[in-house]
Structure 1
Amino acid sequence: MNLDLRYTEEQEALRDSVRAMLTDHAPWARVLKVAESPEPDDADLWRLLSVETGLAALAVPEHLGGAGATVAETAVVLEELGRAVAPVPYLGTTVAAQLLVHLGESDLLRELAGGEPMALALPFDVGPAAPVLSADAGARSAVSRSRAGSSPVAGPRPPGVEVSTAADGSPLLNGTVSSVADALRARVLLVPAGGALFAIDADAAGLRRTPVVSLDETRPLCDLAMWNAPGRLLAAGDRAAAAFDAALVAGAALLASEQLGLAQWCLDTTVEHLKTRYQFGRPVGSFQALKHRLADLWVELVQARAVARHAAAAVAVGDPDARLAAALAQAHCGPVAVRAAEECVQMHGGIGFTWEHPAHLYLKRAKSAAVAYGTAAHHRAALATLADLAPA
């Protein structure tokens, strides 16, 4: 399928609008202040993104209160949020939205469109032990093997979460899920368990969220613990497996756009610094060794933009190769973002290592995001299988 990777006029206008908004409401000094506070994220910025502008529900159908846009538009927003390392639960909520759209969950989608953050109860640092883009992806290994229409208690159970049945026949969830991102403020948690998908209200009896130390203060993590927590069955069997897989593929593609925006900020900021920083009577940027390093980074960034745009476009139109495109984007964009952040810190010299400069926020976000939805090494292995370069 031929995909147009260029930004449309509407997407460029969306980018300009979001960038202007973040310039006013999420300068790096405010981001740092939020990161130092006990709050999990910037509640005012989230209200602006979700309630006042509706950007959190771009991919939600219009008749449910959303904008009826696609993943391609959501990716543009995430690119700008990456540039600002904005401390909001946007990524987790949009991944949850993709799962709900796939299931056609009207009530939950209306809540999401109304500004309620949601999260998929999945460890953020999913790695090779639980690949996210293969047929046995993490919790999908459980939901894909259960029979369609079977009881939520039947079938294999994913590690950490089990399903039992209350006296009235309603499902109860028991177990833990560690290092979940964007879940501290989420009003609804989507939990894969017992061969099915469940929704749990954040204030449900038997559910506890415990903050844990995160490398990235702008994206805090928490552990979920459930003791007979009442859940509502969303889907089971193949239907649950397909929705879960679609959400994770979209998540990998969307994260690549966030990483792209982060890397672009690091390159732009470093170039501007080297133009104004003088050493030995010359701009530091005139030194050939630094020029070569920045030129190499620019080439990698151009490639990252191509694969990130391709992944977003493929998911948006339902391209059969969307899984491959998402794996390619994550295999490339994660390492590029880390390298860009590292170069930003190093080329800023002493100031780049200080708390008062925003470079450390970008390095921490890049490093933490590099293991989310699968590491680059995992995605390269997935690519080999998807492209028939290795035995399945």
Structure 2
Amino acid sequence: MDRYELRRQDYNLSEDQTELQAAYAKFFRARSPLEVVRAAEPGGFDKNLWEQLCATGATSMALPEDVGGDGATLVDLTLVAEELGRTLAPVPWIDHVCASRLLARLDACDTTDIVTGREIVALDPRFDAPPGRRLVPSGSVADRIVVRDGDEIVRLEFDTRPAKVDNIGKLPAAWIDPAAADRRTVLAGGPEAVAQYDRTLEEWRLLTSAALVGLVEETLTIAAEFAKNRYTMGVPIATLQGISHPLANIAIVVHGARNLTRRAAWFLDNEPDVQPVLASAAFVYLADEAPRAATMAVHVQGGLGVAAESAASAYLVRARGWALAGGDPADAAVRVAESFAARA
């Protein structure tokens, strides 16, 4: 048997991975309750939470050992992303991890401050971003920003951080103009550099998908707990088919999306040319299903669900906004379709 054959079909976690996910589940539950998430909404970022997260090694684990990292696999990183999404943690971990991994591949991860997270690195996660001004999801809190400019990969630095732009994902987004940067450094250019950036975008979509898996599962928990304790005509509303069947559908989405995301992570790490668009496929699926699941959670709670202070409403806006940080998810869908058509 091919030594990878079992792993292609097996989505079980190792004991170490189970412990890793449990540790970050405990961390985010304790340090990122909804009150912290709400308080961070004006800036889209909780600096104290970020420093605590970095102290756990969450940024260094993602990087190769030759730059001071711990060499974690992409499957490992999806486990952290899932727990981040479950609590809506207001930290730019996904952007920073993906950008710093790109810098490492380009031999441009030139300071331990990036490895440890003391310097935040952002990136533009959109396909074929047009030249000039673009909206970067973590642009208002980043110390360095990596973008693709034509066939060049460029690092931008600003003496004054750009102002945050309000958005439904409650992200620390900002408009970034490469021409207005105080320092602009070309890191690499040509087809290989573009290929490395495209690989980074796949990783961003992968980890965003994992975060949305956690988000969707938590919306299911919110809705199910309410449905079990809300009575009508003497029975819990969870016993009604109009409630129980949609909630069962969300459970199916969670399990299917989690398997797809872990499969995508494994292939992207081990056989990237065999299934090159699995991460994009997971992203497209969750960009559609996450808002639907979060909307159902709101509907289950009726008028309470649409209240501004409702947990369900907090999940709904992020379910809609996080995927859009990478541009139109339809662009990823087109890439998936083109890839399959080329192989047909």
TM-score w.r.t. the length of structure 2 is 0.91
The 1:208–1:42 alpha-carbon spacing in structure 2 relative to 1, beyond 3 Å, is closer
CA deviation after TM superposition for structure 1 residue 310, in Å: 1.2
Pairing 1:214–2:167 present: yes
SS at match of 2:324: coil
The 1:271–1:228 alpha-carbon spacing in structure 2 relative to 1, beyond 3 Å, is closer
SS at match of 1:213: coil
Pairing 1:47–2:44 present: no
**2:131 aligns with one of 159, 175, 193:** 159
SS at match of 2:176: strand
**1:223 aligns with one of 148, 158, 175:** 175
Q: Is the 8 A contact 2:59 2:116 kept in 1?
A: no
Rg comparison, structure with higher value: 1
SS at match of 1:66: coil
Q: Is the 8 A contact 1:210 1:224 kept in 2?
A: no
SS at match of 1:186: coil
- CA distance in 2: counterparts of 1:370 and 1:231, whole angstroms: 28
What amino acid is aligned across from residue 12 of structure 1 in structure 2? T
CA deviation after TM superposition for structure 1 residue 27, in Å: 0.5
- Residues 263-282 of structure 1 mapped to structure 2, 5 A cutoff: 263-282=216-235
- CA distance in 2: counterparts of 1:374 and 1:222, whole angstroms: 14
What amino acid is aligned across from residue 279 of structure 2 in structure 1? A
- Residue-pair matches, total: 336
- CA distance in 1: counterparts of 2:114 and 2:161, whole angstroms: 21
What amino acid is aligned across from residue 119 of structure 1 in structure 2? A
SS at match of 2:180: strand
Identify the structure with the greater strand proportion.
Answer: 1
- 1:42-65 Cα offsets, whole Å, 9 max, x none, are 101100111x11102222123433
Pairing 1:117–2:120 present: yes
- CA distance in 1: counterparts of 2:138 and 2:181, whole angstroms: 23
The 1:243–1:111 alpha-carbon spacing in structure 2 relative to 1, beyond 3 Å, is farther
- CA distance in 1: counterparts of 2:120 and 2:197, whole angstroms: 18
- 1:310-362 Cα offsets, whole Å, 9 max, x none, are 11222222421343211211121111111111011110122211122211111
- CA distance in 1: counterparts of 2:155 and 2:280, whole angstroms: 28
Unaligned runs of 5+ in 2: none
Q: Is the 8 A contact 1:216 1:361 kept in 2?
A: no
Unaligned runs of 5+ in 1: 127-131, 133-137, 140-157, 161-175
Q: Is the 8 A contact 2:142 2:161 kept in 1?
A: no
Percent of residue pairs identical: 29
What amino acid is aligned across from residue 143 of structure 2 in structure 1? R
CA deviation after TM superposition for structure 1 residue 7, in Å: 1.9
Partner of 2:70: 67
**2:79 aligns with one of 53, 76, 79:** 76
- 1:116-158 Cα offsets, whole Å, 9 max, x none, are 21001x2x6x4xxxxx3xxxxx15xxxxxxxxxxxxxxxxxx5
Identify the structure with the greater helix proportion.
Answer: 2
**1:95 aligns with one of 91, 95, 98:** 98
TM-score w.r.t. the length of structure 1 is 0.80
Q: Is the 8 A contact 2:31 2:49 kept in 1?
A: yes
